[in-house]
Amino acid sequence: MTGKGCEVKIRKIKSDNVTRVRSQYSKTTKIARVYADEARPSETGGSVVDDLMWRRTHEQPTRNEIIAGFIAEELDKQGIEFKTIKAKYNRFCGCSMCPCSPGYDIIITKGEGQRFPSFKIFDIWIEL
C-alpha cells in the first residue's frame, strides 16, 4: 500500500504464542502489533546513550491512518471480519517494561452480531 510519500510492505508476520485475543464477547480487541523498521542510532554508528535517548524521544514513523488502512486490507485477505479498525502508536508496544520495541497497536471493533474468532495476536513487521 502506498500513502502520501510512504510505501508500506510486510516484511514478516508471526502469530504470538502467548497473547490471545480478548474475550470474544467484548466489543473491541487488540488484534495485532505492527513494528516499523527504523534506523536506530546504535545501528548507524551512534553510542548506547544515543540509542537510549532515541527510545525516549523519537516520533512515530508514519500516521496512524496509513497503518490502519494497510492492516485493514491484510485482515480482509485473512477473512477476519470487523466493523472499524484503529491504529495507535505505542512506544511500549512490544515490551511493557521499556520503549525498546515501539510500534502500533491495532484495535478492531466488531459489528452487530459478530463474534471474534479465537486466534492469537499477530506480530507484523513492516518496511516504510
pLDDT of residue 12: 65
pLDDT of residue 23: 56
In the chain, the amino acid numbered 92 is F
| Cell representation of residue 124 | 507484523
pLDDT of residue 3: 45
Model pTM score: 0.75
pLDDT of residue 36: 80
Closest by Cα among 40, 12, 13 to 102: 40
Q: Exposure pattern of 34-47 as b/e (b: 16+ CB <10 Å)?
A: bbbeeeebeeeeee
37 near 44, Cβ under 8 Å? Answer: no
pLDDT of residue 119: 60
Annotated domain spans of the chain: 2-127
pLDDT along the chain (128 residues), means of 10: 55 59 65 80 84 81 88 82 88 79 86 65 79
pLDDT of residue 4: 45
